[in-house]
Chain A
Amino acid sequence: MGHYLLRRFVQAIIVLWGATVLAFGVMFVGGNPTMLMVSPNWTKSEVLAFQTEMGFNKPWWQQYLHFLAGVLHGNFGVSLMQQQPVLQLVLQRMPATAELAGAALLIAIILALPAGVLSASRRNSGIDVFSSVGALFGQSIPSFWLGLMLLLVFSVDLGWFPVQGMGGISHLVLPAVTLCTFPLALFTRLTRSSVLEVLAQDYIKTARAKGLSSRVVLYKHALRNAFIPVMTVIGLNLGFLLGGVVVIEQVFDWPGVGLLALNAIEEKDFPLVVGVVTVAAIVFVTVNLVVDLLYGVLDPRIHYA
């Protein structure tokens, strides 16, 4: 266990280091980063002064080392526009994104588990067809378009929910429902196929043979075992599942990290962009590590060698 922990930890450090290279490198894929940030009506001397101030006149590797040294000290740079430390700006926005993403994941899990179990236990029934077709649509619908349509119907026409911004529960409903569609569809399909697989196992037959009710077999034996692969997908694909949050924050004007990044790009505030991307990567690597280590707790069959 100790050896595994150490190896996993070293891996996470390497991944984090690589993430800083990638996040910083993005600024350089188009050539000189200075040109991204200056406005076309600046004079040449103004551009040169800016370049020197930002350190963009130094070789790229020196700039990277400077950036890395800063990150190690918790300094992710300073926003050009807002003249505030990037980390502070990101941390201010983090709770809003966490609220939205957490609500969406919660709705998805609460609805997907029973839907998947019911589908699997009543294969080819009306419920199964309904949830399978629904899941298929959920995976195919562009979430930001769904958001617009929900806004159109429930906010503009019916006036049930506010059009944009953050506030109480009523502000959260539409963005959370929008963001949950894709994970909901995915989890429903995963739970269904996972439960179907487990139901075919010998220990389920044993449980049935000893006279346990089908409800106990389904929810106590089958769901518990089927939950592990679903959990894996949730943990390891969090970045992918919640990628939609960036666009949905834009649709609903939700003041989270995604909107911060988009505004930074609009304002050509690239130190802020790089900082947001780096912090996001750190959060995801940490979550993945935690999920990985949690498997041992969830599934006693896993022993770390």
Chain B
Amino acid sequence: MVEREPSWQGASESQAESRSGRKRLWRLLRRSPLGLTGAIILAAVFVMAVFAPLLAPHNPSLINILDRLKPPGTPGHPLGTDNLGQDILSRLIFGSRVSLTVGISAVALGGIVGVAAGLVAGYYGGWVDDVIMRIVDIWLAFPAILLAIAAMAVLGAGLLNLILVLGMLSWTGYARLVRGEVLSLREKEFIEAARATGARGWPVMTKHVLPNIIAPVIVVASFAVASTILTEAALEFLGLGLPPAVPTWGSMLATGREYLSSAWWLAAFPGIAIMITVLGINLLGDWLRDVLDPRLRGSL
């Protein structure tokens, strides 16, 4: 998988091979300080999201007006409290759940739609290709955030709506990438050989073409998670994401904006949390790109 050698068998790598591939990736990761930093940051955010109820010192939604707007360093509230007296550290820890869930699900959704569209466009060519690529062009004509804002306003707040809207923002990137890869692959001998054995359509695409384009798709997806988390935070900041009671980094920032001049910590910490998470993903993405598909260096 790492070498991207088009093998005659395509996906039929043995399990032993993929295990040694994983070992090789791990060895490479240990040798790259930046990639390793990214992996550690991301692992920490994952642990935070999964074990949020164990790690958070308080219930993130516990309102305590008597303790409102306490500055960082207050005993029991290391990062302070917000306008309702809710513990900021606890809300940050729980907020990681939304960012990761939305980021990963939306990218998975966009990835599946985009890869399928790109495969079909590249493999069949002709008018199918024309239609799909024009749809991509239409999608790209919009400033994505404007479309997302309008769609969220119509659909209303909610986790599923958020994932759907953010997922549908990103499929075009994969479609273009995959189409280009497929166009160059389908002239290769091993695809011709597969066709010669009578295989057609979907089986050829999923068994022989897909395994050979998975590396660039993984690289693009890793960067997409980063940008999706940023867009999600922006939508939350505008009040267009989840219902207000759910702790998210973006909505914490929106509250923080109202108290900017009197209580800076409300806005400062959620932004730092977003930045560190996105930085970790970008570091890991850079490393993945260098290892899996250095050709993408100029474009990503």
Interface residues of A (CB under 8 A from B): 11, 14-16, 18-19, 21-23, 26-27, 29-30, 36, 136-137, 139-142, 144-146, 148-149, 151-152, 156, 190, 193-194, 197, 229, 233, 236, 239-240, 242-247, 250-251, 258, 261-262, 265, 270, 273-274, 276-277, 280-281, 284-285, 288
Contacts and interface: CB of A to CB of B under 8 A. Distances in A.
A140 B275 contact: yes
Given A18-B134, A19-B138, A26-B150, A240 B282 contact: no
Nearest to A243: B145
A247 B138 CA distance: 23
Contact of A36 (B145, B154, B297, B299): B154
B46 interface: no
12 contacts: A15-B134, A22-B138, A139-B226, A148-B253, A149-B271, A193-B298, A197-B298, A240-B143, A246-B145, A251-B257, A280-B143, A284-B143
Contact of A30 (B155, B238, B253): B155
B84 interface: no
A19 B298 contact: no
Contacts of B43: none
Contacts of B139: 22
A243 B267 contact: no
A15 B137 contact: yes
Nearest to B283: A136
Given A137-B275, A145-B267, 4 more contacts: A142-B274, A145-B271, A243-B145, A276-B146
A140 B275 CA distance: 5
Contact of B279 (A26, A140, A247, A280): A140
A22 B149 contact: no
Nearest to A274: B150
A16 B145 CA distance: 18
Q: Which interface class (under 10, 10 to 19, 20 to 34, 35 or more) fits B?
A: 35 or more
B154 A29 contact: yes
Of A22, A142, A197, the most chain B CB neighbours within 10 A belong to A142
B193 interface: no
A24 B275 CA distance: 35
Interface in B234-272: 234, 237-238, 240, 253, 256-257, 260-261, 264, 267-268, 270-271
Contacts of A26: 147, 150-151, 154
A265 B145 contact: no
Interface string B203-229: 000000000000000000000001000
Contact of A246 (B149, B261, B264, B282): B149
B102 to A, nearest CB: 14
Q: Please report whether the interface of chain A is mostly helix, strand, loop or mixed according to DSSP.
A: helix
B142 interface: yes
B138 to A, nearest CB: 3
Nearest to B239: A266
B145 A29 contact: no
A142 to B, nearest CB: 5
A246 B156 contact: no
Contacts of A276: 146
Contacts of A194: 298
B141 interface: yes
Contacts of B160: none
Given A26-B151, A239-B143, A246-B146, A148 B275 contact: no
B152 to A, nearest CB: 9
B154 A140 contact: no
B62 interface: no
Contacts of B278: 139-142
B230 interface: yes
Given A26-B150, A151-B260, A11 B134 contact: yes
Contact of A144 (B147, B237, B260): B237
B162 to A, nearest CB: 14
Contacts of B106: none
A281 B142 contact: yes
Given A145-B267, A145-B274, A247-B238, A156 B261 contact: yes
A116 to B, nearest CB: 12
